[in-house]
């Protein structure tokens, strides 16, 4: 049995797909268990090759039975039945917390982390692209991985419309959000061009999405934030005409389904989380390299927030032109 730890979000799971596929191909006869949040279940099914999801929302003690601590206390009833796995793979982080959570496995595949007692594995590189990071880890342990193997299975058509332009204004990280008024202006301009625009987001972003839609002059039915589960959101993106979003999970779904996209990165550089550079239908705008960098007297994050709507529209034209050619 192989246990893989990746207790993070949509983008994190999407960027780990090549590594998960490599583990599946390298160990075809082993059960592959993924420790990740339960709500990611619909997306895990679209990855394929994962035999079982172990619901894991955060780091903690190992999920299998461990001896009591020195003071006699126990970490509680573990969610794992049976002995620890033969192999545990840390696709979560550099340690030491994530390494310690996998303590007791027969073998740990992970980056070198002396504080956690793990001196095997390659060294961590902060500036590495997230996809390359986990592929390099597996290569170090003799497991070849293809960084281009990013595609997800296409979910069956559902109740949501096809051919829409998805505008996703939200992000769990406030600093990654392009201003709502600019998203609204963009959505209005896209609708004027004939795009059927919908606004997506989590349940907690429904007010934001409603404000963007209202300011753009879109009908209330265009607000899909909080009205889709993860599987439905994947189906919506898979059948979309275009995706415009910040550096967040929806952008990674567009990459997985090869849907034209314009992704607004800031302040984290796209070199660490962006789509493959050899796919011209994915356009990335980032403050230090875009027109917004010319705004004087403000920092990088503020320059990114000042990214003009016309520049985003130009990127939309560029992305769609690559599909027509």
pLDDT at residue 287 is higher than 60? yes
Which has more confidence, 208 or 325?
208
Is the model's pTM score more than 0.85?
Answer: yes
pLDDT at residue 285 is higher than 50? yes
- Report which of 83, 45, 237, 212 is spatially closest to residue 158, judged by C-alpha positions: 237
Fold of 165-324: Rossmann fold (3.40.50)
Structural contact between residues 238 and 224, judged by C-beta atoms closer than 8 angstroms: no
Please provide the CATH number assigned to the domain covering 2-140.
3.40.50.2000
Q: What is the mean pLDDT of residues 31-56?
A: 95
Find where tokens 């705004």 sit.
Answer: 295
Per-residue confidence (pLDDT) for residue 299, from 0 to 100: 46
DSSP E strands in the chain: the ranges are: 2-5, 32-36, 52-55, 87-90, 107-109, 165-168, 197-199, 242-246, 261-265, 282-286
Q: What is the mean pLDDT of residues 100-129?
A: 96
| Residue 81 banded pLDDT, cuts 50, 70, 90 | confident
Q: Is the dihedral of CA 33, 84, 37, 259 positive or negative?
A: negative
Which has more confidence, 7 or 289?
7
Q: Estimate the crossing angle of helix 130-140 against helix 17-26, to 10 degrees.
A: 20
Spatial neighbors of 222 by CB under 8 A, at least 6 apart, are 197, 198, 199, 213
Mean pLDDT for the chain overall:
89
Domain boundaries for CATH 3.40.50.2000 within the chain: 2-140, 165-324
| Residue 103 banded pLDDT, cuts 50, 70, 90 | very high
pLDDT at residue 291 is higher than 50? no
Q: What is the rounded distance in angstroms from the CA atom of residue 244 to the CA atom of residue 236?
A: 13
pLDDT in tens, 178-193: 999 999 999 999 999 9
Dihedrals phi, psi of 265, to nearest 5 degrees: -100, 135
Dihedrals phi, psi of 87, to nearest 5 degrees: -135, 135
For residue 17, what is the DSSP state?
A: H
DSSP helix/strand/coil, 34? strand
């Amino acid at each position: 049995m192989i246990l893989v730890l990746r207790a993070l979000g949509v983008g994190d799971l999407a960027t780990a797909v090549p590594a998960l596929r490599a583990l599946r191909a390298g160990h075809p006869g082993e059960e592959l268990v993924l420790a990740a949040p339960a709500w990611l279940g619909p997306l895990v099914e679209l990855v394929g090759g994962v035999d079982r999801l172990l619901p894991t929302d955060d780091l903690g003690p190992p999920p299998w039975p461990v001896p009591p601590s020195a003071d006699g206390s126990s970490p509680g009833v573990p969610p794992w039945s049976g002995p620890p796995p033969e192999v545990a793979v840390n696709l979560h982080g550099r340690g030491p917390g994530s390494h310690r959570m996998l303590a007791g496995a027969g073998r740990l595949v992970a980056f070198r982390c002396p504080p956690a007692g793990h001196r095997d594995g390659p060294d961590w590189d902060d500036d590495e692209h997230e996809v390359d990071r986990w592929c390099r880890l597996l290569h170090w342990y003799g497991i070849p991985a293809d960084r281009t193997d990013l595609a997800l299975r296409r979910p069956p058509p559902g109740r949501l419309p096809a051919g829409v332009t998805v505008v996703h204004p939200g992000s769990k990280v406030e600093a990654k959000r392009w201003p709502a008024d600019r998203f609204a202006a963009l959505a209005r301009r896209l609708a004027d061009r004939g795009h059927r625009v919908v606004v997506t987001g989590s349940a907690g972003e429904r007010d934001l999405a409603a404000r963007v839609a209202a300011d753009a002059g879109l009908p209330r039915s265009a607000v899909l934030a909080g009205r889709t589960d993860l599987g439905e959101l994947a189906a919506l993106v898979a059948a979309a005409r275009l995706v415009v979003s910040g550096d967040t999970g929806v952008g990674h779904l567009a990459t997985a389904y090869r849907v034209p996209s314009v992704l607004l990165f800031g302040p984290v550089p796209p070199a660490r989380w962006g789509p493959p550079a050899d796919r011209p239908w994915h356009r990335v705008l980032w403050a230090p390299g875009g027109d917004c960098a010319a705004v004087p007297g403000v920092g990088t994050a503020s320059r990114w927030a000042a990214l003009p709507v016309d520049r985003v529209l130009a990127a939309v034209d560029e992305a769609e032109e690559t599909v027509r050619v």
